[in-house]
Structure 1
Amino acid sequence: MDIKYIIYIISFFGLIEKGFSQELQQHSTKNWEDFRKDYKVPKWFADAKFGIWVHWGAQTQPKQGGGWYARNMYQQDVGKELWGKNAYPYHNKTYGHPSKIGYKDVVNEWKADSLDTDALLKYFKSLGAKYFVALANHHDHFDNFESTYNPWNSVNVGPKRDIISEFEKSTRKYQLPFGVSSHDDRFLSWWLPAFGADKEGAYKDIPYDGRLTKEDGKGLWWEGLDPADLYGLPPEMRDEAYLVSVKEAWVKRTVELATKYDVDMLWFDGYGFPYGNYGKKASEAFYNFKLEKYGKLDAIVAGKFKDEPSTVMDVERGGANSIQNLPWQGTLTFTSWFYKEDRQILHNARTVVEMLVDMISKNGNLLLNVELLPNGKIPNNHRLILDSIGAWVNMNAEAIYASKPWTIYGDNLQGNRKGNGLAETDLDGAKKQNNDTDFNERTIKSSMYPADEVRFTCKGKNLYIFVMNPKEKNILIPSLALQKSQRRISKINLLGSKEKIHFDQNQNGLTINLPNKLPTELVIVFKIEGLTNYMLN
């Protein structure tokens, strides 16, 4: 890192030590209101359409127990959170009782010993991914990078590797934009079960290891580490000064993460800015860092934001209902956010492609999570799905990358996008959201699209028609009916095929006859040249 940027970061952290808000506001080249006025989504993101995310950390180490293992292992009864029902019994059977061996010990078991970031990024790029995102920390408060401000990190404990640094270097090697995701701001409430105890059984009322102190580690593997730096202080010890110190430490960690690894996307979980204005100030510092270094702002803060024009809207496991004015992003994962053997697979190549097509028709991108095994490898059954997705993306690339929404996003709109309900999520948070956006993913349990339902994209003067379920011999598209003062469609091509396409256009619509041999069993894409200015009735 250039010396002037090191000085910039040191200066920033010094201001936080003096006092958070006023000095930081004065130091920044621009404040958040400035960014809100003139921010533009970078072209690399608007054109990308398809990215890969590795939502991977120490919670992958246990084979069962859901994506919130660290929290659920401290609960004999997880109530409504059924995805974590195996965490407590699995932990007791595999590691021991959480009063003796807790999540801090699980972290130390995680070695990531087969992680090859070069091989992963080469593969992801071959699938057609145009950007890559790695998880920097989850609700467990464990950092996957060399953190100055959090001793519970992957360099000190567990893998003894700077995971984010390795991913960043490989991503740059394969010339892709690099992003990180941070899910840490809810850790204090998320960790509350770690300060409890069994309500029944042999260990009834014996405190879990969240109440251990630094002194308790003498002579043990974690000597010198303080459990309170991972779990937070016990609830009864959290006064206002402590809560402020947690938020200020979060800002330091986040700005260090964003600047040391010079990320292109800073992705936040939850709804709105983490810790309110603290998250806004960290984002402000990130944007100013990019401006100082490159002379322009070509970076993104993404999350479940509303009315924040200087951010990118993120939709978790779902999609928008209509064409959005600004580029946005939807996220998707095959089973659990972290790989677990006891979680059923929710997606195959068909459903992922369907979600991708629906998103790009509405000006969105798909960020697809790849669930790595604890050792850093891709599960074999997931790789087979990814291979099929990659083959489809590469075959239909011209209709995907740098495409724009057409006048309408689709026709014959009857398909039910609803999946199988909520999955790994904050249930209370999800209820606050529009049920037609977050968590409305199509899954393998969803019914197939009707044979005539289509989506559209356009690029230049070309219109692309995505047939969502090409099971019939012909389809009628009413929105492409022959109209006065409009030229007739003269030629239609099927991407990935050399077959001649027969069609008929009249006042009722465009009827396309599908050839006997299709290039894929998934969505097929027709190309019509010179038709993007076609006016609808």
Structure 2
Amino acid sequence: MTNRHSNTIVISIKKPVFLNMLFVVLFFLGSTQFIKAQNKDLTWDELANQYECPEWFRDAKFGIWFHWGPQAVPEQGGGWYARHMYMKDVGRQKFGKMANPYHLQTYGHPSEFGFKDIIHAWKAEKFDAEYLINFSKENGAKYIVALANHHDHFDLFNSSYHPWNSVNVGPKKDIIGAFEKATRNAGLKFGVTSHDDRFLNWWQPAFGADKTGEYAGIPYDGRLTKADGKGKWWEGLDPKDLYGPAPEDRTPEIIEDIKKNWLKRHIELVTNYKPDLLYNDGFNFTYGDYGKEVTRKLYNNSLKDNGKIDAVMLLKKQAKGTVNEVESGGSNTLRAYPWQSEITFTDWFYKKDRHLTHNARTILEMLIEAVSKNGNLLLSMELKPDGTIPDEIKKSVKIVGDWLKINGEAIYGTRPWTVYGDGRSVRGEAVETVGGELRNATESQKHGEHFNQRTTATPAFAHDEVRYTTKGDNFYITVMNPKGGEFVIPSLGKSSEVTPGNLKGLIQLYNGRKVSYKQTNNGLTINMPVVNGDSYPVVLKAKFKKKH
């Protein structure tokens, strides 16, 4: 209404209308603040304090890793070919003993044909990311991981800050970009790995020279300069950008610039390709705070895109805000927090002079072991230099895939039981082991977890060895090396402190056939059906009623 005694106009608003308008204003202001909060980058401590391993990672259990790059080109010489090709004596690193003689015979002297030229020879001419991802998905992988760079300091993505990358040199392809697109199209999670932090020391041999012989004193190609490339295929590129500066030129200022360059490259990697997972191959964050800053960017990107931190950062060290990675091994215990085991078929890059460390049996054993202990398994499926899968590797992965099609419900989306299993090795009884294996067998063998993997040389499990997983009220018993006849599982006795209670309706998962059993106070006696010859692990499924 209008006040006749004043020039001021007063508008009367009914209370409900006023409250509604106030609510709209407050909602708008609140939404604005919420958006600002969502757009604000959190500090590392803020992110680490709220971090929990994403459920997708816990449910996925099995991933395939394409640990692939120019070091796949030579057919012999181990997984550190780029370093060992410059070394007459590889010391204790015997896996690289063939690199130098093979290089001399195949390519010539490293003063004339160095690793930069191996990169140039890598064409990845049959690389088909869509096929590789679909093959992996068909055979059970729930997430895909690809190598972004190795110790050789070569980027496999479209790097704005490093000219030695797969778009400029070698394949002339964005390898990570192709993997990322194909993985997203397949509906899988995508990760990348970086192993670049040690390249300066790793490349030291590239600056040496033969001490005797025809080429004595002639420097290897690590000492070439940009000017030396005039008229050659690498004209315009500086070898120093690949191998690093000569050891005598590495001042603190230059080292700091290298770290800053690493930061720029990896911020670009996590920003442009939006990985769900990042693994830095080290026991701590790469270059300290620089690596932590990349992880901060990874997590903030995920927080903005998903409303929560749905990404995974893997380190070999157990550190707050990250997930622990175990190289070529597994956990000795059932862990409270999720973790990951990583294994590969030969030397991380495919070589014909090495026997396969793994086959379908050992891959399944490593997978089942990891899942029973609250972990995942990441399998490196090495590729030929042209980008195709070697037949012997393809065969093993297909067997694993077939097993998972039948038994996957005991793996995917499961959670561990109170204990991970039973059997001779679990009880600490003497078991047969092989040299270099530190599997969880006895107290004296529990000295480490990295490189304690089961391999093709590892003796078979005892016939009473079992592992447990659960899902809802389903209880899964995986018999690792089944044999027809009776065996006893003490931990599942009715009086056991860890028993799931009364088990009901024990069946073989692969055919639904009932399995004869008897549960007493002292244990669960299972009468396994006859197994013809060697068998892959067999999953038994039961319902259980927890003890009160």
Q: Residue 517 and residue 87 in structure 1: after superposition, are their counterparts in 2 closer, same or farther (change >3 A)? A: closer
Assess if the C-alpha contact under 8 Å between 1:318 and 1:437 holds in 2. Answer: yes
How much has 1:200 moved relative to structure 2?
1.7
Map residues 408-423 of structure 1 onto 2, 5 A cutoff.
Answer: 408-414=419-425, 420-421=435-436
Render the CA deviation track for 1:212-267: whole Å, top value 9, x for unaligned: 00000000000000000000000111111100000000011011011101110011
Q: Residue 401 and residue 534 in structure 1: after superposition, are their counterparts in 2 closer, same or farther (change >3 A)? A: farther
Render the CA deviation track for 1:6-58: whole Å, top value 9, x for unaligned: xxxxxxxxxxxxxxxxxxxxx97211111221101111101011000010000
Return the match for 1:455 from 452, 460, 467. Answer: 467
* Alignment-mate amino acid for residue 120 of structure 2: N
Map residues 292-331 of structure 1 onto 2, 5 A cutoff.
Answer: 292-306=304-318, 308-331=319-342
Assess if the C-alpha contact under 8 Å between 1:451 and 1:472 holds in 2. Answer: no
Assess if the C-alpha contact under 8 Å between 2:502 and 2:544 holds in 1. Answer: no
* Alignment-mate amino acid for residue 270 of structure 1: G
Aligned mates of 1:386, 1:257 — CA distance in 2: 29
2:282 aligned counterpart, secondary structure: strand
Q: Residue 420 and residue 107 in structure 1: after superposition, are their counterparts in 2 closer, same or farther (change >3 A)? A: farther
Greater mean deviation of Cα atoms: 376-385 or 480-489: 480-489
Greater mean deviation of Cα atoms: 67-76 or 435-444: 435-444
How many residue pairs get matched?
A: 497
Q: Residue 116 and residue 519 in structure 1: after superposition, are their counterparts in 2 closer, same or farther (change >3 A)? A: farther
Return the match for 2:68 from 50, 56, 62. Answer: 56
Do residues 342 (structure 1) and 353 (structure 2) align?
yes
Map residues 242-321 of structure 1 onto 2, 5 A cutoff.
Answer: 242-306=254-318, 308-321=319-332
Task: Tell me the TM-score normalised to structure 2 length.
Answer: 0.88
Do residues 504 (structure 1) and 515 (structure 2) align?
no
Aligned mates of 1:325, 1:77 — CA distance in 2: 44
Assess if the C-alpha contact under 8 Å between 1:392 and 1:520 holds in 2. Answer: no
Q: Residue 28 and residue 283 in structure 1: after superposition, are their counterparts in 2 closer, same or farther (change >3 A)? A: farther
Partner of 1:81 in structure 2? 93
How much has 1:517 moved relative to structure 2?
5.3
* Alignment-mate amino acid for residue 168 of structure 1: E
Aligned mates of 1:418, 1:46 — CA distance in 2: 30
How much has 1:63 moved relative to structure 2?
0.5
Do residues 43 (structure 1) and 34 (structure 2) align?
no
Identity %: 51
Q: Residue 69 and residue 245 in structure 1: after superposition, are their counterparts in 2 closer, same or farther (change >3 A)? A: same
How much has 1:490 moved relative to structure 2?
3.1
Partner of 2:211 in structure 1? 199
Partner of 2:156 in structure 1? 144
1:491 aligned counterpart, secondary structure: strand
Partner of 1:4 in structure 2? none
Assess if the C-alpha contact under 8 Å between 1:355 and 1:442 holds in 2. Answer: yes
Assess if the C-alpha contact under 8 Å between 2:484 and 2:529 holds in 1. Answer: no
How much has 1:487 moved relative to structure 2?
6.3
How much has 1:500 moved relative to structure 2?
2.4
Assess if the C-alpha contact under 8 Å between 2:282 and 2:317 holds in 1. Answer: no
2:59 aligned counterpart, secondary structure: helix
Assess if the C-alpha contact under 8 Å between 1:418 and 1:442 holds in 2. Answer: no
Partner of 2:169 in structure 1? 157
Assess if the C-alpha contact under 8 Å between 1:457 and 1:465 holds in 2. Answer: yes
Aligned mates of 1:405, 1:102 — CA distance in 2: 49
Assess if the C-alpha contact under 8 Å between 1:497 and 1:518 holds in 2. Answer: no
Q: Residue 418 and residue 302 in structure 1: after superposition, are their counterparts in 2 closer, same or farther (change >3 A)? A: farther
Partner of 1:524 in structure 2? 538
Aligned mates of 2:227, 2:520 — CA distance in 1: 82
Q: Give the superposed CA RMSD.
A: 2.0
Assess if the C-alpha contact under 8 Å between 2:483 and 2:531 holds in 1. Answer: no
Assess if the C-alpha contact under 8 Å between 1:214 and 1:227 holds in 2. Answer: yes
* Alignment-mate amino acid for residue 511 of structure 1: T
Partner of 1:369 in structure 2? 380
Render the CA deviation track for 1:253-306: whole Å, top value 9, x for unaligned: 011011101110011102111111111111112211222333321101112122
Flag structure 1 segments of 5+ consecutive residues without an equivalent: 1-26, 424-433
Partner of 1:7 in structure 2? none
Aligned mates of 1:419, 1:379 — CA distance in 2: 27
Partner of 1:405 in structure 2? 416
Greater mean deviation of Cα atoms: 466-475 or 231-240: 466-475
How much has 1:162 moved relative to structure 2?
0.3
Aligned mates of 2:501, 2:198 — CA distance in 1: 57
Q: Residue 250 and residue 363 in structure 1: after superposition, are their counterparts in 2 closer, same or farther (change >3 A)? A: same
Partner of 1:429 in structure 2? none
Q: Residue 413 and residue 187 in structure 1: after superposition, are their counterparts in 2 closer, same or farther (change >3 A)? A: same
How much has 1:179 moved relative to structure 2?
0.2
* Alignment-mate amino acid for residue 406 of structure 2: M
Aligned mates of 1:496, 1:76 — CA distance in 2: 53
Assess if the C-alpha contact under 8 Å between 2:475 and 2:542 holds in 1. Answer: yes
Greater mean deviation of Cα atoms: 285-294 or 338-347: 285-294
* Alignment-mate amino acid for residue 502 of structure 1: S
Assess if the C-alpha contact under 8 Å between 2:484 and 2:531 holds in 1. Answer: no
2:393 aligned counterpart, secondary structure: helix
1:270 aligned counterpart, secondary structure: coil
Map residues 114-263 of structure 1 onto 2, 5 A cutoff.
Answer: 114-263=126-275
Partner of 1:513 in structure 2? 527
How much has 1:475 moved relative to structure 2?
1.6
Q: Residue 488 and residue 186 in structure 1: after superposition, are their counterparts in 2 closer, same or farther (change >3 A)? A: closer
Q: Residue 260 and residue 420 in structure 1: after superposition, are their counterparts in 2 closer, same or farther (change >3 A)? A: farther
Partner of 1:383 in structure 2? 394
Flag structure 2 segments of 5+ consecutive residues without an equivalent: 1-38, 439-445
2:503 aligned counterpart, secondary structure: coil
Aligned mates of 2:501, 2:147 — CA distance in 1: 50
Do residues 356 (structure 1) and 367 (structure 2) align?
yes
Assess if the C-alpha contact under 8 Å between 1:420 and 1:445 holds in 2. Answer: no
1:275 aligned counterpart, secondary structure: coil
Greater mean deviation of Cα atoms: 509-518 or 441-450: 509-518
Render the CA deviation track for 1:324-354: whole Å, top value 9, x for unaligned: 1111000011111000011111111111111
